[in-house]
Structure 1
Amino acid sequence: MRVLFASTSGSGHFHPLVPLIDACTARGDGVLVVAPPKLEALLAAREQPYRIGGEPPDDELGPVMARVLELPPDDSVSLMTREVFGRLYTAAMLPALEEACREWRPDLVLHEAYEFASVVAAERHGIQHAQVAVSAAQFARSTDVLLRPVLDSYGPGIAERLSVSPYLTRLPASLDPSPYAVTHRYHEPLRPGVLPDWWGGVEEPLVHLTLGTVAGAMPTAAGLYRAALEAVSGLPVRVLLTTGHGTDVSGLGPIPPNAHVEAWVPQADVLGSASLVVCHGGSGTVFGALAAGVPLVCVPLFADQPVNARLVAEAGAGTAVTPTTGPADESTVLGPDDVSRIRSAAELVLKEPSYRARAKCLSEEMRATATGRELIGALEPRS
């Protein structure tokens, strides 16, 4: 079988595809990945063939992104979904995906849930397609209606056929019930490595602080990291802050004695040792923590993060601390009250064993889902 994988920019969008790409490779299937230029370095480090598609022009994308950062959260999600993913990225990626479908002739197209050019190309060439979840199902469903006028401009009914295509997700059913009629759940194996001993033999519980790859590169990142460090600096814990490569570490100020800062550490290595994750509630971080059975304190900023934080809190696998300072624009920092609330939430989750117990239950539920190889077998077109 030949399987074409398609992603927009951002490792958080590409990573859910990885276990399925690896499963196809292990099965001996033909694999081709199509993605924008910003993912080329990541793709070049892997073994699978790839093609690089287009990127929206800066003079079109820049003004839209500026508006996204200025709007209230719900309005920014609508604009990002409709204009950035729906209109600009679809137009930019469509030529490369049309060419791949026409020349390479895949049997199946698997796309991350915010990449739509592959859906248009697959529909035009009569190829089966399925969407791979990036966010929680209820968040994804809430944005589907925004795409209808954009996608149907490429052909009547494309938006409807996208909404009824198979929906593949790594999140467990008890946390994230799916409104999609055909839902498949899968998991990826956890292979944690050993963290270096950056704390000189201290064995206090490990708290991982992260804002992920998108929020960590925003202008507000340094202020957010300083506030998060302040929140946990006085606790009897070890702290590992991962900032991403877009943050100037010198802007963080003095680092507390119990904390260590790295640009990047493999997520599985950190979570294999962590007792708590304090984060923005991004889907990749939430998924990783729950897969490892680690509870969370989520401080949601924008996009799908408020939904993820609420699901974690409702499941009893952590708590949510909603900032009091408003949307994440350039003037936004966490205030003293937010810092105090994050500290109290971290103390509570570390002290109360029910949070970790519930996270472990979700981890076990996730491990009981299909492997990537089993899922690919179930999706294989039948002649």
Structure 2
Amino acid sequence: MTMRVLVVCIPQAGHLTPLLPLASALAEQGDEVVVASGPDVADTVTTAGLRFAAAGSGPAQWFPALSKRIRGVPGDGLPAARILPYFVPRLFGEIAATDMIDDVLDAARALDAHLVVYDPVAFAGQLRTFGLNVREVRRETAISIWPPILQQAEPGALTMRPTPLPAATTQPCRPPLIYLTLGTFSNANLTVFRTVLDALAAEPVELIATVGLDNDPDALRPWPANARVERFIPQSELLPRCSAVVDHGGSGTVLGALAHGLPQLVLPQSADNFINAEMIEQSGLGQRLLPEEVTPDAIARAVADVLADPAPARRAAAEIATMPAPCEIAHILRERYS
């Protein structure tokens, strides 16, 4: 039986990317799929060949709304451990859910959905709360994208490979190539990029940094002779050549690097970055430097350390390779819910 599936997510790459392969797999097996999210990800969804339904606005409007509500800068001065508990109920629970819910309900009714798959903080996806007769699959509690070395799935949850298997054979450069990224959302602080560039300038490595489409690489000139700075390079092209990654701790970057067996130095910037950074360090997959710990000397030492111990990251890559592919999860969902 063909399913009619509504996928609900926050309109940011870190929230959409883990769900998009599953949405595509559901569509490829013949199910009717609509992705409901903010307009910022419309092109990404339609380029993937999926139907898009606009739901609410997005973070560019949500953050000012939260600032107005609290009469200040959201999260200003909070210690790292409190950032996520602060933002989830306020930004995603109060602001985002209210903004998205009417559009999500309209999309669900128009599709006549009987299954909704939703991002963990896309609370507007909890449609049974609003009286719709749908089955709900929450990505995280019902479908885990984390390899066991990082996080054990909850009892009864399905595990799904979080990223495609590397298309290219890993061929690390010599001297070692380090990839620096702060993702697409937490990349506004160019001082962090500059600190890493300075830290590795005299080290026996090469460095490629991507600063994001909204930043100008020339703002970081002059950069060291062993460095190159670009707005964007597809990670699928870059990671097979790397020996380590310096990143912000976004889920997509963390999992993409691990799929290639790369150790990481995580410099968390916001939201779940701090949780992911802690998991990476505690699992032996890399190191973490909190904002107040980020200095050129600390970065240079940490990069040398992770380069010296790639074995745990390679074990994580082996675990990811054995996780069920999205097409397998799509088949299981059809068997359970159609």
What TM-score do you get using the length of structure 2 for normalisation? 0.89
Which is further off, 81-90 or 302-311? 302-311
Give the whole-Å Cα distance in 2 for the aligned partners of 1:39 and 1:70: 31
Q: Deviations over 1:313-363 (max 9, x none)?
A: 2222212222326xxxxxxxx4xxx2101101111222x2xx311111111
SS in 2 for 1:16: coil
Alignment coverage as a number of residue pairs:
327
Match of 2:183 in 1: 212
| Residues 24 and 48 in structure 2, CA contact (< 8 A), matched pair in contact too | no
CA distances 1:116-151 after superposition (whole Å, capped 9, x unpaired): 112135762121111224xxxxxxxxxxxxxxxxxx
Instruction: Give the gaps of 5 or more residues in structure 1.
Output: 134-165, 196-201, 326-333
Cα RMSD of the aligned pairs, angstroms, is 2.3
Match status 1:2 vs 2:1: no
User: Helix, strand or coil for the counterpart of 1:379?
Assistant: helix
2-structure distance, mates of 1:78, 1:321: 20
Q: Does structure 2 conserve the Cα–Cα contact (< 8 Å) formed by 1:207 and 1:274?
A: yes
When normalised by structure 1's length, the TM-score is 0.79
1:85 counterpart residue number: 92
Q: How does 1:290-309 map to 2 (within 5 A)?
A: 290-309=258-277
Deviation string 1:241-272 (CA, Å, 9 cap, x unpaired) is: 01111223232131111111111111222211
Residue of structure 2 equivalent to 1:151: none
The alignment partner of 2:18 has SS state of helix
C-alpha distance 323-99 of structure 1, shift in aligned 2 (>3 A): closer
Q: Partner amino acid for 2:283?
A: A
The answer to whether 1:112 aligns with 2:119 is yes
Counterparts of 1:192 and 1:373, CA distance in 2: 17
Query: Is 70-79 or 103-112 further displaced after alignment?
Result: 70-79
> Which amino acid is 2:325 matched to?
T
Q: CA deviation at 1:73?
A: 2.7
Is the 1:108–1:129 Cα contact (8 Å) retained in structure 2?
A: yes
CA displacement at 1:379 relative to structure 2: 2.0
Q: Which amino acid aligns with 2:316?
A: L
- Indicate the residue corresponding to 1:186 in structure 2: 160
Cα distance between partner residues in 2 of 1:319 and 1:303: 18
Report how far residue 92 of structure 1 moved.
Answer: 1.0
1:315 aligns with 2:283: yes
1:374 equivalent in alignment to 2:331: no
User: Is contact 2:249–2:267 with CA below 8 Å preserved after alignment?
Assistant: yes
Q: Distance in 1 between matches of 2:41 and 2:77?
A: 27
Which residue identity is paired with 1:369?
M
In structure 2, runs of 5+ residues without a counterpart are none
Contact 2:9 2:118 in 1 (8 A): yes
Gap change, CA 1:361 and 1:375, over 3 Å in 2 = same
**Aligned residue identity for 1:223:** T
Which residue of 51, 54, 70 corresponds with 1:52?
54
% identity of equivalent residues: 28
Does the 8 A contact of 1:101 with 1:122 survive in 2?
Answer: no
Matched residue, 1:224: 192
**Which is further off, 120-129 or 235-244?**
120-129
Q: Is this contact kept in 2: 1:170–1:366, CA < 8 A?
A: no
